[in-house]
Structure 1
Amino acid sequence: MTQNSAPPRPHLSDHFRNVSSLHPPTPRGARHARLLAREHLLSWGLPRDPAEHIVGELAANAATHGRVPDRNFRLTLYVVSDTLRIEVTDTLGDRHPRLTHPRLDHVSGRGLFLVDALADKWGVSAGPYPKKTVWAEVRTEGSR
């Protein structure tokens, strides 16, 4: 009897994971998106930081600045090989976020500044009208 010594073939799921969910454009919806992201990161064996913070900021921005009554925002997480991509899509595509340095005397306005500091890269993609997606990518711990 001969044995085949070939290594097992990798499965697509070893290198690709994703989840997508809809959330109401409210502070509670943003919190739920962050908690859902935390659970998926843990189940995928990925570190919570900085991804959970990035999700929290992008979801809060969608609930605050991308809010359209009765239209949810979408959180999508992709892991492809050594990169986690976070996408938050809202239905206010005519308002694209801009990175500005926060003023010391303001209590808000630091969301994208934090995303810029925590993510390896980030950007905004126009979707089919009226949507836009704000995305951020971070390398997973195993690739750092």
Structure 2
Amino acid sequence: MPQTETFRIPKRRRHVPTARQHIRKALAAWAITDELADTVVLSANELVTNAVTHCRTSDAQIKVTLTLDGPELLLEVCDPDRDRLPHIHDSGPDEEGGRGLALVEELADIWGHRQEPYAKCVWARFTLTETLERPHVPAAL
């Protein structure tokens, strides 16, 4: 049965670190650490920052969901600006931003988005390594 962690943050830049902390805590509870945890947290940082920056709905809340289902981890970031869909931006070398989705595309196994009746969700899927798929069983057992 999948394990899920969902939380919401206000649509404000100052709450992006809070989202990272929630994600890192959930990953640690599921024994996902090291490089994969860093990859998921960095991807979440980019997706949450995009939602906070580009959502045009005032006083919105950003919903973040992590789902661990067997060997797959799904990260979803949803905001109520359903018609403003994400796309990878070709950033020039002098531009300060615009590389977040390109980074997520490199880090995740696959990413995408979907429109819901009152929101859009941008998601990224990660495959856990073989050692994380199976619970650790001591050799003495």
Alignment match, 1:22: 8
> Could you tell me how far apart the structure 2 residues matched to 1:41 and 1:127 are?
26
Distance 1:65 1:94, change over 3 A: same
Q: Within the alignment, does 1:126 sit opposite 2:112 as a pair?
A: no
Deviations 1:106-142 (A, max 9, x none): 011110010000000000100113x100000001133
Secondary structure at the counterpart of residue 138 of structure 1: strand
Partner SS, residue 106 of structure 2: helix
> Which residue of 2 is the match for residue 81 of structure 1?
70
User: After superposition, where does 1:92-107 map in structure 2 within 5 Å?
Assistant: 92-107=81-96
Helix, strand or coil at the partner of 2:112: strand
Q: 1:142 aligns with which of 111, 126, 130?
A: 130
The alpha carbon displacement at 1:143 in A equals 6.6
Q: Secondary structure at the match of 2:38?
A: coil
* Cα distance, 1:106–1:41 mapped onto 2, change above 3 Å: same
CA distance in 1, matches of 2:62, 2:10: 6
Matched, 1:33 2:22: no
Q: Residue by residue, what CA displacement relative to the aligned partner does 1:39-88 show, whole Å, maximum 9, x if unpaired?
A: 11111101312101111100001110124221101000000000000000
2:97 corresponds, among 108, 121, 124, to: 108
CA RMSD of aligned residues (A): 1.4
- Structure number, greater radius of gyration: 1
2:84 maps to amino acid: R
Report whether the alignment pairs 1:42 with 2:24.
no
Name the count of aligned residue pairs.
129
Q: Which has the higher helix share?
A: 2
Calculate the TM-score normalised by the size of structure 2: 0.86
Structure 2 unaligned spans of 5+? 133-141
Counterpart secondary structure, 1:69 = coil
